[in-house]
Amino acid sequence: MKAAAKAHTNIALIKYWGKRDEPLILPMNSSLSLTLDGFYTATSVDFRNDLSTDHFYLNEQFVTGAEKNRVTAFLDRIRAAAGKPDAFAEIHSTNHVPTAAGFASSASGFAALAAAAAKAIGLSADEQQLSILTRQGSGSACRSVYGGFVEWEKGTLSDGSDSYAVPVASANYWDIRVAAVILSSAEKKILSREGMRRTVDTSAYYPAWVDSIPNDLAAIKEGIAAKDIEKVGEIAEANCLRMHATTLAANPPFSYWQSTTVSIMQTVQDLRATGVPAFFTIDAGPNVKVLYTPEHEEKVRNMLQNITGVHDVKVSKPGEGVSYI
């Protein structure tokens, strides 16, 4: 009744932005991501007869409150699927992801938790079923089941059975880099869940966002197939800006950007003006991720580290999907 799994986080190049069903976490639009080797969560789940509730430890700390409740609610789905409603677990999770501020530690966290819990409780689930399970813990986590480039097909069914990730290209397919640029003071005022909801409900630009996704997806998959960094980067950057623009047209409007976010975007564009194919993308927070090819490693890293307000730069390569440990 014990199992452990490891999962990497992922960065969306075509953003997941908006739910059509909140409880099942079904998205309004399909998305596409790259799993990153640098950031991961390792989680063990031990279903024990002597427990009458779940015990959750994150980075060796016993966790209570909303964070624990989210884990228990997710395990309730696993218990229900396995037909074992009274099986409670001790969970130990170690996050190798800077928490909060746009780094989806929930992506690696729920992918690892789903894999370990399903195995521990004896629920047989292939990768597609695991992706569907994981999605119900955290939407973008369903993409972390696979390594490399991954598409999350939004699906159309109301039960969510056709809303899961599919692999596009494996981790060793293309040697590119993602620099995670972490701000010194990166407090995230509006959570992505709340930001999505307000945008879907009120943004004058949200319908056009949804309509714009199929073209982006088709084009970026062409770019990935051709290993064309310019094409992939330009589409990812434009998609990111189009996502953030939806928040500016919400009611009331809001933005995840800080002044340093804009400095980083401009530095990346300045880099491009010198012939370096570097492109940015930004999730629902102020931090920035920069996509580039490995031969420009030194120049990109130096430029990013020297920006006022940047705390750290962490470089990742494409990472593998979920594995059991």
Which residue in 65, 85, 252, 275 binds a second copy (CB under 8 A)? Answer: 252
Q: What are phi and psi of 151, to 5 degrees?
A: -105, 140
Which DSSP letter does residue 254 get?
-
Rounded distance between C-alpha atoms, residue 55 and residue 81, angstroms: 20
305 touches a second copy (CB under 8 A): no
Residue-by-residue DSSP string for 119-132:
HHHT----HHHHHH
**Least distance to a second copy from the beta carbon of 221, Å?**
19
273 touches a second copy (CB under 8 A): no
Q: State which residue, 280 or 292, has the beta carbon closest to a second copy.
A: 280
Q: State which residue, 175 or 230, has the beta carbon closest to a second copy.
A: 230
Q: Is 216 exposed, middle or buried (0-12, 13-18, 19+ CB in 10 A)?
A: buried
**Least distance to a second copy from the beta carbon of 182, Å?**
16
Q: Are 127 and 56 in contact (CB under 8 A)?
A: no
Helix, strand, coil share (%) of the chain residues, nearest 5: 40, 25, 35
Rounded distance between C-alpha atoms, residue 195 and residue 141, angstroms: 18
Which residue in 99, 251, 305, 306 binds a second copy (CB under 8 A)? Answer: 251
144 touches a second copy (CB under 8 A): no
Check residue 101 and give left, alpha or beta (phi > 0: left; psi -120 to 50: alpha): left
Which residue in 99, 158, 266, 302 binds a second copy (CB under 8 A)? Answer: 266
Q: Looking at residues 231 to 250 of the shown chain, list those that interact with a second copy (rule: CB under 8 A).
A: 234, 237-238, 241-242, 244-246, 248-249
Q: State which residue, 171 or 240, has the beta carbon closest to a second copy.
A: 240
190 touches a second copy (CB under 8 A): no
Residues lying near a second copy in the complex (CB under 8 A) are found at 204-205, 207-209, 211-212, 234, 237-238, 241-242, 244-246, 248-249, 251-253, 255, 257-263, 265-266
